């Protein structure tokens, strides 16, 4: 019995220690009370990222893509044609946004959904669109196309906040989904 208790204590300490090391932006108290990982995504907390990226589209939590994707998307060469738009930034602003996105990317996160995205993108080319991520596609596969592309208030899966009412808080749970023009849809 004593060996089992000791083994469980060592295992718990190892898991907690690993979680604490990954939880760079968490306080020790927060990490203790969430010893493994939180379910959702880290919400956007960088004002520059929120202001610059959010001025054109929903400011996606960086945990929705791996580092290798942000590395390709956030360069001075890539931004003049950012999905058909000129999103050029001055060098200092780009540096701040890039560093923020890379530090909070899916493969750097301790949140479960980000980890799933990191695993889903681990052995493939860097997806440049969140809607290209296998995990995201799988989570939305049961929603009829007419509710997304045929819905004037949604248009595309890239408009996360059109249906995910708590997206700005990093919450993408099914409980918080409300598809515009389809009030009775229940996934």
Question: Within this chain, do residues 130 and 156 fall inside the same structural domain, yes or no?
Answer: yes
Question: Within this chain, do residues 63 and 154 fall inside the same structural domain, yes or no?
Answer: yes
Q: Rounded to whole angstroms, what are the CA distances from 63 to 23, 153, 156, 168?
A: 13, 25, 20, 13
Rounded Cα distance between 76 and 79, Å, is 6
Question: Within this chain, do residues 97 and 143 fall inside the same structural domain, yes or no?
Answer: yes
Question: Within this chain, do residues 64 and 18 fall inside the same structural domain, yes or no?
Answer: no
| In a domain? residue 107 | yes
Question: Within this chain, do residues 158 and 120 fall inside the same structural domain, yes or no?
Answer: yes
pLDDT tens, position by position, for the chain (187 residues)? 555 555 444 445 444 444 434 433 444 444 445 545 467 899 999 999 999 999 999 999 999 999 999 999 999 999 999 999 999 999 999 999 999 999 999 999 988 899 999 999 999 999 999 999 999 999 999 999 999 999 999 999 999 999 999 999 999 988 899 999 998 876 5
- Model confidence, pTM: 0.77
Question: Within this chain, do residues 91 and 17 fall inside the same structural domain, yes or no?
Answer: no
| In a domain? residue 13 | yes
The total domain count for the chain is 2
Question: Within this chain, do residues 52 and 131 fall inside the same structural domain, yes or no?
Answer: yes
Question: Within this chain, do residues 53 and 95 fall inside the same structural domain, yes or no?
Answer: yes
| In a domain? residue 57 | yes
| In a domain? residue 95 | yes
- Range of 13's domain? 2-33
């Amino acid at each position: 019995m004593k060996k089992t208790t000791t083994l469980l204590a060592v295992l718990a300490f190892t898991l907690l220690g690993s979680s604490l090391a990954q939880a760079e932006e968490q306080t020790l108290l927060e990490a203790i009370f969430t010893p493994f990982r939180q379910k959702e995504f880290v919400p956007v907390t960088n004002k520059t990222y929120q202001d610059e990226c959010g001025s054109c589209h929903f400011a996606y939590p960086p945990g929705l893509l791996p580092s290798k994707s942000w590395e390709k998307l956030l360069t001075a060469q890539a931004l003049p044609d950012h999905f058909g738009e000129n999103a050029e930034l001055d060098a200092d602003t780009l540096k701040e946004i890039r560093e923020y996105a890379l530090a909070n990317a899916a493969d750097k996160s301790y949140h479960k959904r980000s980890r799933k995205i990191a695993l889903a993108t681990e052995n493939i080319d860097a997806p440049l669109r969140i809607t290209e991520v296998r995990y995201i596609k799988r989570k939305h596969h049961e929603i009829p196309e007419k509710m997304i592309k045929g819905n004037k208030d949604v248009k595309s899966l890239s408009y996360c906040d059109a249906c995910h009412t708590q997206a700005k808080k990093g919450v993408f749970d099914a409980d918080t989904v409300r598809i515009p023009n389809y009030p009775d849809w229940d996934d």
